[in-house]
Amino acid sequence: MEFTQDWAQQKDQQDSLHRFKDEFYFPQHEGKPVIYLTGNSLGLQPKQTQAYIQEELDAWKELGVDGHFEGNRPWMEYHKFFAEKIAKIVGADKKEVVVMNNLTVNLHILFASFYRPTATRHKIIMEGGAFPSDMYAVESQVKHHGFNPSESIIEVTPRAGENALRDEDIIAAIEEHGAETALVFFSGVQYFTGQVFDMESITKAAHKAGAFAGFDLAHAAGNIKLNLHDWNADFAAWCSYKYLNSGPGGVSGIFVHEKHGNNPKTPRFAGWWGYQESTRFQMKKGFIPEPGAAGWQLSNAPVFSMIPHLASLDLFDDAGMDNLVAKQKEITAYLEFVLAESAPQLKVITPESRGSQLSILTDKNGKHLFDYLTKNGVITDWREPHLSDMEFGVIRMAPVPMYTSFEDIYNLGMILSKYQAPA
């Protein structure tokens, strides 16, 4: 590994995924593409998205209501066009996944099935400092069932002086509260630190305690290797606008393990689109769920929100998730190396268990450095201090393997090496 342009360019020439960089639109800075390191917040737009949207606009114009049953992608079947592609990304059977709604909506729908507290088993164990949507959703679910969040929510936090959670502390918390725990709910990748949680071990510990295990994969889907089915997770949900490049507020997806999805007695909120497909149009009373995750659908597919997702997933299908994860490991390691070479005063707080994101703890000049990067065409993400004992903010950088090059990382290093902090 070398902090030289020649080394970076050679790596790009050897990279089988380098061609995908040309499949995306980049914001411009002084007539040149920016160095875009915020795909963990909003992915770039694939160039083919517009053509996919135009195709469905034409179908609507030319077919009207018949577009539900005719055309290249009949809208009645639209959710089915995603199943095989997204199943590869999250490590599931295609019947265990479905694309629908938005992330927090889907979490509430899944909590209706998998958070069913009793007087003696009502606790939810989650990471401290989770993304606010998760905190609010969990708090409201606990209150909805008549419990006190201060008693029913157990937050696991890093040890004093540490920034990442230890696996053994998560397991210990599950074991300590197991008899009172109804649900263990973690993110797949912690949004602030970039830590990847050991979802397999968390799931095993939850099941041993008699609880369900669910995950918010907003920062994990399209980023890290997932094996939800083999890990035996009960449920998961994710958004599509981060690493999955499907546009702001893009449609969400869910996973429900087949042991629940194929059981019609699994409790759930019901809607017409989750009804047994073969008899759906008979309009009968009495809900009979479609087997699999599709049985959690409420309304028909929001086609125009789903089109950009399909355009992006076709690129993922072409690239291959294993190839993306392999490059993710290489380019993230190179980012860490370049940061050490060009800005040794910065501290990476993301542990070795990570995806594409590195979180960099700054000093009193952190916001000034962030603004400097922005003014020099580097798009990163600024976060205020996350935990009570954290004095300074964090700059998050995510070298997304689909469209970040090794030369981008070299150029970032050159910009950082010229930075001068204010006196």
Q: Euclidean distance between the first and final Cα of the chain, in Å?
A: 33
Average confidence (pLDDT) over 89-115: 98
Percent residues over pLDDT 70 in the chain: 99
Question: What would the pLDDT profile of 375-412 be if each residue is shown by its tens digit?
Answer: 999 999 999 886 656 778 899 999 999 999 999 999 99
Q: Are strands 394-397 and 381-383 parallel, antiparallel or unpaired?
A: antiparallel
Same fold, 5-33+321-417 and 52-318: no
Average confidence (pLDDT) over 223-252: 98
The confidence band for 317, taking pLDDT boundaries of 50, 70 and 90, is very high
Every domain of the chain and the residues it spans: 5-33+321-417, 52-318
Question: What would the pLDDT profile of 264-313 be if each residue is shown by its tens digit?
Answer: 999 999 999 999 999 999 999 999 999 999 999 999 999 999 999 999 99
CB 196 within 8 A of CB 168: no
Residue 389 has what pLDDT? 63
CB atoms under 10 Å from CB of 332, counted, come to 23
Give the residue, 363 or 117, on which the prediction is more confident.
117
Question: What would the pLDDT profile of 1-36 be if each residue is shown by its tens digit?
Answer: 999 999 999 999 999 999 999 999 999 999 999 999
Residue 161 has what pLDDT? 87
Residue 387 has what pLDDT? 60
**Sign of the four-CA dihedral 374, 390, 187, 79:** negative
* CB-side neighbour CA atoms (13 Å) of 20: 25
Lowest mean pLDDT among 21-25, 125-129, 364-368: 364-368
* Token reading at 269: 């909120």
Question: What would the pLDDT profile of 176-232 be if each residue is shown by its tens digit?
Answer: 999 999 999 999 999 999 999 999 999 999 999 999 999 999 999 999 999 999 999
Query: What is Dmax (Cα atoms) for the chain?
Result: 74
Superfamily grouping for domain 5-33+321-417: Aspartate Aminotransferase, domain 1 (3.90.1150.10)
Query: For the domain bounded by 52-318, which CATH number is listed?
Result: 3.40.640.10
Q: Are strands 181-187 and 123-127 parallel, antiparallel or unpaired?
A: parallel
Residue 385 has what pLDDT? 80
- Angstrom distance (rounded) from CA 210 to CA 197: 20
CA 191 to chain centre: 9
Question: Nearest Cα to 406, choosing from 11, 101, 132, 105?
Answer: 11
Report the SS3 class of residue 83: helix
Average confidence (pLDDT) over 242-265: 97
